[in-house]
Structure 1
Amino acid sequence: MPTAAALAAALCLALPGCGATAEAGRDAHVRASGGPEANTGAEDRRDGAVRAAVRRLAAQGDTPGAAALIRRTGEGTRFVASGVADVRTGRRIHRDDRFRAGSLTKTVIAAVTLRLAAQGRLGLGDTVEEHLPGLVRGHGNDGRKITLRQLLNQTSGLFDYTDDPVLARELSAAADRTHTPASLVRTALAHRPSFAPGAEWRYSNTNYVLLGMVVQQVTGRSYAAEARRDVLVPLRLDGTSFPGARTILPAPHGRAYTRDGGASADGARRDVTELNPSSAGAAGELISTLDDLSRLVSGLLRGEVLPRAELRRMRNTSASDGQYGMGLFPVRLSCGVTLWGHNGEITGSSVMAVATSDGRHTLAYRLNGTARSGLPAETSLLEAEFCPRP
């Protein structure tokens, strides 16, 4: 199954903190709504496997807590949580808590861009130069040769600005500093591209920062405003927001943590709840809830945001050898089920939201810490829910 590590699909912006956190150990608790009162034995076993996987997610990720929300159309919703949302007070994770969703921002930005394409306001074959003249130049980078399609499907070859060591040190020293999209792009352009546009596939947050700039250039409105109008409001994502440079999380929320020294380090845990996400921008600034992320992937796959042709493009992985579409990627389970969704990692938060191809069965989970990628418990969680054993 593709993981955040295999896909390089995480937006990891913390810099001494791009690591992990911990304190799980309390038993997982589960609340259900909207479904039948009694479970069959098979359902009980599935619920037990899901609860155990949520506990393991917190333990393997070295985070204080973990939570998952599962929704099946016609069968109600289940919320499972383990550990704590606040290590100081012992507060538990609540279903309606707000948290940073990292690269799930890309799913929203891709949907906005594809809506503009469906309306004829831009073309996926347009070059970056046509919309942002003169911006992408130097060190072998050339916006005249990069299309919007290549930004969306991660085949532009542009360097990922989050890998720049100078920016990493800067963010480490001044995490509250505001960064403009243009400054992030300039950081990327100080490096040579990884390959010629369209020649290969490689995940780069720079692609989606540029898409945010294109959306603003085409519409005269910020990508956040366009996303609210075209995605958040139609799908009733009332707990989702674009904070810009605001450092605080909206209420209600728990705390967010990371380890000094990174995900695999034994350094001291730090509270990183307050964070300036402008260095993530259109690649990862989103704040959301588990319910909203579930509705996001479900609504997209059910055709509630995009026309059918654009939805097909969003799920077309031919340019990436089956690994990434446009703001969505496939997760293939051992039982033959393929899920669609995205993950997100940003300092103090690790998230994933996926759904079956018809959007009728969704799972969204979160950890309240910077976790290492590719946790085995992630696979266990998804297979416990979507590959029930007899």
Structure 2
Amino acid sequence: MMQTPRRLLALALGAAALLSSGVAAASPPRDSLQRDTEAIHALGVSGVQARVTAPDGRQSVATSGTADLDTGRPVPADGYFRMASTAKTLVATVVLQLEAEGRLSLDDTVDHWLPHVVRENGNDGRRITVRQLLQHTSGIHDDLPGYTTPEEYYQQRHDVHGLRRLVARAVAHAPDFPPGEGWAYSNTGYVLLALIVQEATGHPAHQQIEDRVLRPLGLDRTRWLGTSPALPRPHAQAYQYFGPGSRVDVTDQIPVDPENLSWVTTTRDENRLLRALLAGRLLPARQLAEMKRTVPVNAEVQQLWPGGRYGLGLVERPLSCGGSYWSHEGGDGGYITLNGVTGDGRRSAVVSMSEARGDTPDHILAQENAASALIDHALCG
């Protein structure tokens, strides 16, 4: 995604009244959720929506801010947003399903499925495995196109990039480290996984996700939009904060990786997905255990995920009340979303913010910390 944890840091390192509303029956957990959404909004984030699902299935929802800075309309309680890198969990789930069916192996090399595609500037697809792509330990340098100024956004927002072209950008760089000898977040690794899924099945990865994950779970509000620059309604407008006086509505854009990043969803659907995955409804026990085998993330991403570890398309983070939870946040086109689910799949939470404050390290970290606190409070509740 254009604003992965790595990209968020790179972005920084490299008017209408704001309305507040909430939805759900009054209760202490709901009150805490509302306070946490308002704390995020107070940072300057234009709109926030959050949903928590309890073990008994009851849901609490809270919103804060506005969906549109021009009109002041309220944030929809279950509005669409770009899923961004949370879709990596979808890709990983399909890959592990294929592994369970014997149609590929986690030890297969990139070159086995995509001969000679990764062979330049010290990159060698004969040494990189499917597991390493899933876990961001391949060493492939990440070089997705992206925007860091309003001018770049307006120039690039409707550009369409082919998957092999995106891979070519990445392998024009030397690898960050030898395969398996480090960790660095790489969107390009998941571009390669989408190509491998297509080679293994004869169908695009997005179609496999629809057939294998979304349709069986009835997630009819999680949709692949391809190269459409618009979202279904209702949705909050998405904003990118580039600095003082540079808050731009970036809702209208084509995701840079249309195969992996063109998914939209809702807090309701994302909660259902996470609960189903961790409850074992999508993967056999062995493959789910593989997904949860983690390695430490690098020091840069540790700033955003203290104590965080990365599995196969799934992140493990510690809980303040003890134990840990599973998640995969996403950020693209102004939307930043954090989520979490307990290990048994019984309690989950999702918070979607319709503004990315990506201009300074302090803004990035404050937004990440406030959203992480909401998830922690919801899961510890």
TM-score (norm. length: structure 1): 0.86
Q: Distance in 1 between matches of 2:346 and 2:208?
A: 26
Q: Percent identity?
A: 35
- Matching residue of 2:361: none
Q: Distance in 2 between matches of 1:103 and 1:27?
A: 28
Q: Kindly indicate whether residue 53 of structure 2 is the aligned counterpart of residue 53 of structure 1.
A: no
How far the C-alpha of 1:232 sits from its partner, in A, is 0.7
How far the C-alpha of 1:74 sits from its partner, in A, is 1.4
Q: Kindly indicate whether residue 278 of structure 2 is the aligned counterpart of residue 295 of structure 1.
A: no
- Matching residue of 2:302: none
Gaps of 5+ in 1: 33-38
Q: Distance in 2 between matches of 1:169 and 1:206?
A: 25
- Matching residue of 2:330: 344
SS of the residue corresponding to residue 161 of structure 1 reads coil
Paired amino acid for 1:76: R
The verdict on how the C-alpha distance between 1:370 and 1:318 changes in structure 2, with shifts beyond 3 A counting, is closer
Q: Is the 8 A contact 1:24 1:59 kept in 2?
A: no
Post-superposition CA distance 1:252-293 (Å, at most 9, x none): 22211112xx3xx2133221111101x134443321111111
Q: Is the 8 A contact 1:106 1:282 kept in 2?
A: no
Name which of structure 1's ranges 245-254 and 76-85 shifts more when overlaid on structure 2: 245-254
TM-score (norm. length: structure 2): 0.88
Aligned mate of 1:266, from 244, 249, 262: 244
Aligned mate of 1:366, from 324, 346, 352: 352
- Matching residue of 2:379: 386
Aligned mate of 1:108, from 62, 69, 90: 90
How far the C-alpha of 1:251 sits from its partner, in A, is 2.0
Post-superposition CA distance 1:100-147 (Å, at most 9, x none): 011001010000111111111111100000100110011110101100
Aligned mate of 1:153, from 135, 153, 159: 135
- Matching residue of 1:356: 342
- Matching residue of 1:64: 46
Greater RCO, CA 8 A, separation 6+: 1
Q: Is the 8 A contact 1:24 1:58 kept in 2?
A: no
How far the C-alpha of 1:241 sits from its partner, in A, is 1.2
Pairs within 5 Å for 1:1-390:
9-10=4-5, 12=7, 25-32=18-25, 43-44=27-28, 46-60=29-43, 62-162=44-144, 173-259=155-241, 262=242, 265-277=243-255, 279-318=256-295, 323-372=309-358, 373-374=364-365, 375=367, 376-388=369-381
The verdict on how the C-alpha distance between 1:13 and 1:382 changes in structure 2, with shifts beyond 3 A counting, is closer
Q: Distance in 2 between matches of 1:99 and 1:383?
A: 22
Q: Is the 8 A contact 2:226 2:259 kept in 1?
A: no
The verdict on how the C-alpha distance between 1:118 and 1:24 changes in structure 2, with shifts beyond 3 A counting, is farther
Post-superposition CA distance 1:322-366 (Å, at most 9, x none): 610011101212221311011001121000121000111010010
Paired amino acid for 1:294: N
Paired amino acid for 1:51: Q
SS of the residue corresponding to residue 287 of structure 1 reads strand
Q: Distance in 1 between matches of 2:9 and 2:332?
A: 7
Q: Is the 8 A contact 2:21 2:74 kept in 1?
A: no
How far the C-alpha of 1:169 sits from its partner, in A, is 8.8
Paired amino acid for 2:252: E
Gaps of 5+ in 2: 299-307, 359-363
SS of the residue corresponding to residue 337 of structure 2 reads strand
Q: Distance in 2 between matches of 1:11 and 1:112?
A: 24
Paired amino acid for 1:301: L
The verdict on how the C-alpha distance between 1:173 and 1:14 changes in structure 2, with shifts beyond 3 A counting, is farther
SS of the residue corresponding to residue 226 of structure 1 reads helix
The verdict on how the C-alpha distance between 1:174 and 1:351 changes in structure 2, with shifts beyond 3 A counting, is same
Q: Distance in 2 between matches of 1:14 and 1:283?
A: 21
The verdict on how the C-alpha distance between 1:30 and 1:115 changes in structure 2, with shifts beyond 3 A counting, is same
Q: Is the 8 A contact 2:122 2:175 kept in 1?
A: yes
Post-superposition CA distance 1:164-216 (Å, at most 9, x none): 899x9976622101100111111101111000000111111111010001011
The verdict on how the C-alpha distance between 1:84 and 1:320 changes in structure 2, with shifts beyond 3 A counting, is closer
SS of the residue corresponding to residue 105 of structure 2 reads coil
Q: Is the 8 A contact 1:240 1:288 kept in 2?
A: yes
Q: Distance in 1 between matches of 2:130 and 2:158?
A: 31
Q: State the aligned residue count.
A: 361
Q: Distance in 1 between matches of 2:86 and 2:117?
A: 26
The verdict on how the C-alpha distance between 1:319 and 1:11 changes in structure 2, with shifts beyond 3 A counting, is closer
Paired amino acid for 2:164: A
SS of the residue corresponding to residue 142 of structure 1 reads coil
RMSD, aligned CA: 2.7
How far the C-alpha of 1:28 sits from its partner, in A, is 4.2
- Matching residue of 1:36: none
Q: Distance in 1 between matches of 2:96 and 2:260?
A: 16
The verdict on how the C-alpha distance between 1:165 and 1:138 changes in structure 2, with shifts beyond 3 A counting, is farther
Q: Distance in 2 between matches of 1:170 and 1:184?
A: 18
Q: Distance in 1 between matches of 2:139 and 2:154?
A: 26
SS of the residue corresponding to residue 349 of structure 2 reads strand
Q: Distance in 2 between matches of 1:199 and 1:123?
A: 20
